[in-house]
Structure 1
Amino acid sequence: MAVSNNTEEATTIEASVWGEFFINYEPKPLQRSEQWMVERANKLKEDVSTRLQTCNDLVERMHLVDAIQRLGIDHLFKKDICGILSVINGSEFPSSNLHDVATRFLLLREHGFWVSSDAFKKFRGSDGRFINDVTDDPRGLLSLYNAAHLLVHDEPELEEAIFFARHHLESMIRRGDLNPPLVDQVKRALHVPLTRTYKRVETLHCMLEYEQEEGHIAVLLDLAKMDFNLLQQVHLRELKAISEWSKDLYGHIELNYARDRAVENYATAYILFHEEGLGLTRLIFAKICALIVIMDDTYDSHATIEECRKLNEAIQRWDETAIPLLPDYLKKFYCKILNIFKESEDQLTVNEKYRVSYAKKEFQNLSTYYLQEAEWSHQDYKPSFKEQVELSTMSSTVPLLTVAGMLGSGEAVTNEAFQWAASHPSCVIACAKIMRFMNDIAAFKCRKSKGDVASSLECYIDEHQVTSKEAIAKFDSLIEDEWRTLNKARYECSSLLPAVQLVVNIAVAFAFFYDGRKDAYTFTIHFQEVIDNLFVKPIPI
Structure 2
Amino acid sequence: MSLLFFSSSSPSILFTKLTNTSYLRMAMPAPVLEHAHHTTATKQSSFILSNSSSKVIDPPVARQRRLAQYHPTIWGPKLIDSFSTRYTHESYASKLEGLKQNVSEDLHVLSTKAKGDACLTLKLIDSIQRLGVSYHFEKEIKAAIVTLVSSSTASTTTDLQTVALQFRILRQYGISISSDLFNQFRNCEGSFKDNLSNDVEGLLSLYEASHLGMPGEDVLEEAKRFSFKNLKQSMATLKDDYLLKRVAHSLQTPLHWRMPRIEALNFITMYQREDSKNLQALLELAKLDYNLVQSVHQMEIKELSRWWRELDLKSKACFSRDRLMENYMWAMGISHDPQFSQCRIGLTKFVCILTVIDDLYDVYGFLDELECFTDAVTQWNMEAKEELPEYMKPIYIAMLEFGNDLSDNIFKNTGLNTLPYIKNEWENLCKSYMVEARWFYGGYTPTLEEYLKNAWTSVGGPGAMLHAYLLTQGSQLTEASLESFNHGSQLIYWASFITRLTDDLGTSKAERERGDVAKSIQCYMDEKGASEEEACDYIKGLICHSWKKINQESAKTTIPRSIVNLSLNMARAAHCIFEHGDGIGNSIGVTKDRLVSLIANPIPLDD
TM-score where L is the length of structure 2: 0.82
Partner of 1:16: 73
2:551 to 471, 474, 487: 487
Going from structure 1 to structure 2, the CA distance change for 1:46 and 1:356 (only over 3 Å counts) comes to: farther
Superposition deviation, residue 206 in structure 1? 1.7
Alpha-carbon distance in 1 for matches of 2:258, 2:295: 23
Going from structure 1 to structure 2, the CA distance change for 1:86 and 1:362 (only over 3 Å counts) comes to: farther
The 8 Å contact of residues 246 and 260 in structure 1, kept in 2 or not, is answered as no
1:27-66 equivalent positions in 2, closer than 5 A = 27=84, 29=86, 34-55=89-110, 56=112, 57=114, 59=118, 60-66=120-126
Partner of 1:213: 274
Instruction: Say which SS state the counterpart of residue 16 (structure 1) adopts.
Output: coil
2:583 to 499, 507, 520: 520
Superposition deviation, residue 379 in structure 1? 2.3
Alpha-carbon distance in 2 for matches of 1:244, 1:452: 33
- Residues 135-182 of structure 1 show CA distances to partners (whole Å, capped at 9, x for unaligned) of 12111111110111111101121111111111111111123x241211
1:386 to 430, 449, 456: 449
Partner of 1:196: 257
Instruction: Say which SS state the counterpart of residue 152 (structure 1) adopts.
Output: coil
- Residues 257-300 of structure 1 show CA distances to partners (whole Å, capped at 9, x for unaligned) of 11111101111111122222111010000000011011111112
- Residues 487-524 of structure 1 show CA distances to partners (whole Å, capped at 9, x for unaligned) of 111212464122012111101111111114x1111111
Alpha-carbon distance in 1 for matches of 2:85, 2:356: 34
The 8 Å contact of residues 191 and 222 in structure 2, kept in 1 or not, is answered as no
1:329-348 equivalent positions in 2, closer than 5 A = 329-348=391-410
The 8 Å contact of residues 66 and 364 in structure 2, kept in 1 or not, is answered as no
Alpha-carbon distance in 1 for matches of 2:335, 2:498: 20
Alpha-carbon distance in 1 for matches of 2:213, 2:362: 37
Alpha-carbon distance in 1 for matches of 2:85, 2:438: 52
Instruction: Say which SS state the counterpart of residue 312 (structure 2) adopts.
Output: helix
Going from structure 1 to structure 2, the CA distance change for 1:97 and 1:416 (only over 3 Å counts) comes to: farther
Alpha-carbon distance in 1 for matches of 2:196, 2:477: 42
Going from structure 1 to structure 2, the CA distance change for 1:515 and 1:191 (only over 3 Å counts) comes to: same
- Residues 16-63 of structure 1 show CA distances to partners (whole Å, capped at 9, x for unaligned) of 121225433142545xx7534111101222333334344413613333
Going from structure 1 to structure 2, the CA distance change for 1:408 and 1:432 (only over 3 Å counts) comes to: closer
Most deviating of 446-455 and 130-139: 446-455
Going from structure 1 to structure 2, the CA distance change for 1:9 and 1:113 (only over 3 Å counts) comes to: farther
1:126-525 equivalent positions in 2, closer than 5 A = 126-175=188-237, 177-215=238-276, 216-250=278-312, 254-348=316-410, 350-351=413-414, 353-410=416-473, 415=479, 418-419=482-483, 421=485, 425-448=489-512, 451-493=515-557, 495-516=559-580, 518-525=581-588
Instruction: Say which SS state the counterpart of residue 15 (structure 1) adopts.
Output: coil
> 1:71 and 2:131 equivalent?
yes
- Residues 91-130 of structure 1 show CA distances to partners (whole Å, capped at 9, x for unaligned) of 4325322111111111111111121111212222333322
Alpha-carbon distance in 2 for matches of 1:336, 1:318: 12
Most deviating of 452-461 and 353-362: 353-362
The 8 Å contact of residues 70 and 320 in structure 2, kept in 1 or not, is answered as no
Going from structure 1 to structure 2, the CA distance change for 1:381 and 1:82 (only over 3 Å counts) comes to: same
Paired residue type of 2:375: E
Paired residue type of 1:503: S
Going from structure 1 to structure 2, the CA distance change for 1:529 and 1:306 (only over 3 Å counts) comes to: same
Going from structure 1 to structure 2, the CA distance change for 1:268 and 1:251 (only over 3 Å counts) comes to: closer
The 8 Å contact of residues 314 and 322 in structure 2, kept in 1 or not, is answered as no
The 8 Å contact of residues 112 and 494 in structure 1, kept in 2 or not, is answered as no
- Residues 58-110 of structure 1 show CA distances to partners (whole Å, capped at 9, x for unaligned) of 61333322121111100111222233323433443253221111111111111
Going from structure 1 to structure 2, the CA distance change for 1:82 and 1:288 (only over 3 Å counts) comes to: same
Alpha-carbon distance in 1 for matches of 2:434, 2:503: 19
Going from structure 1 to structure 2, the CA distance change for 1:415 and 1:117 (only over 3 Å counts) comes to: farther
5+ unaligned residues in a row in structure 2: which ranges?
A: 1-59
Partner of 1:83: 143
The 8 Å contact of residues 83 and 298 in structure 2, kept in 1 or not, is answered as no
Paired residue type of 1:256: C
The 8 Å contact of residues 313 and 395 in structure 2, kept in 1 or not, is answered as no
The 8 Å contact of residues 425 and 462 in structure 2, kept in 1 or not, is answered as yes
The 8 Å contact of residues 437 and 456 in structure 1, kept in 2 or not, is answered as yes
The 8 Å contact of residues 38 and 230 in structure 1, kept in 2 or not, is answered as no
Paired residue type of 2:138: K
The 8 Å contact of residues 377 and 452 in structure 1, kept in 2 or not, is answered as yes
Alpha-carbon distance in 1 for matches of 2:486, 2:365: 29
Most deviating of 83-92 and 238-247: 83-92
The 8 Å contact of residues 437 and 475 in structure 1, kept in 2 or not, is answered as yes
Most deviating of 493-502 and 53-62: 53-62
Going from structure 1 to structure 2, the CA distance change for 1:529 and 1:23 (only over 3 Å counts) comes to: closer
Paired residue type of 2:233: S
Equivalent pairs counted in the alignment come to 532
The 8 Å contact of residues 427 and 489 in structure 1, kept in 2 or not, is answered as yes
Superposition deviation, residue 375 in structure 1? 1.9
The 8 Å contact of residues 440 and 516 in structure 2, kept in 1 or not, is answered as yes
Partner of 2:82: 25
Going from structure 1 to structure 2, the CA distance change for 1:536 and 1:296 (only over 3 Å counts) comes to: same
Instruction: Say which SS state the counterpart of residue 274 (structure 2) adopts.
Output: coil
More helix per residue: 1
Superposition deviation, residue 345 in structure 1? 3.0
- Residues 173-212 of structure 1 show CA distances to partners (whole Å, capped at 9, x for unaligned) of 123x241211111101000001111221221122223244
5+ unaligned residues in a row in structure 1: which ranges?
A: 1-5
Alpha-carbon distance in 2 for matches of 1:9, 1:87: 61
The 8 Å contact of residues 355 and 418 in structure 1, kept in 2 or not, is answered as no
Superposition deviation, residue 355 in structure 1? 4.2
The 8 Å contact of residues 253 and 332 in structure 1, kept in 2 or not, is answered as no
Paired residue type of 1:375: R
Alpha-carbon distance in 1 for matches of 2:486, 2:379: 20
Paired residue type of 2:387: L
Alpha-carbon distance in 2 for matches of 1:144, 1:270: 29
Alpha-carbon distance in 1 for matches of 2:142, 2:488: 28
Paired residue type of 1:61: T
Instruction: Say which SS state the counterpart of residue 114 (structure 1) adopts.
Output: coil
Sequence identity, in percent? Answer: 28
Going from structure 1 to structure 2, the CA distance change for 1:423 and 1:212 (only over 3 Å counts) comes to: closer
- Residues 392-428 of structure 1 show CA distances to partners (whole Å, capped at 9, x for unaligned) of 1221111111111112213777655544556773222
Partner of 1:3: none
Alpha-carbon distance in 2 for matches of 1:103, 1:529: 31
The 8 Å contact of residues 207 and 224 in structure 2, kept in 1 or not, is answered as yes
Alpha-carbon distance in 2 for matches of 1:538, 1:448: 39
Alpha-carbon distance in 2 for matches of 1:504, 1:331: 35
Paired residue type of 1:10: L
Q: Which runs of 4+ in 1 moved over 6 A?
A: 6-9, 411-414
Paired residue type of 1:530: R
The 8 Å contact of residues 377 and 451 in structure 1, kept in 2 or not, is answered as no
The 8 Å contact of residues 443 and 449 in structure 1, kept in 2 or not, is answered as no
Going from structure 1 to structure 2, the CA distance change for 1:87 and 1:450 (only over 3 Å counts) comes to: same
Instruction: Say which SS state the counterpart of residue 525 (structure 1) adopts.
Output: coil
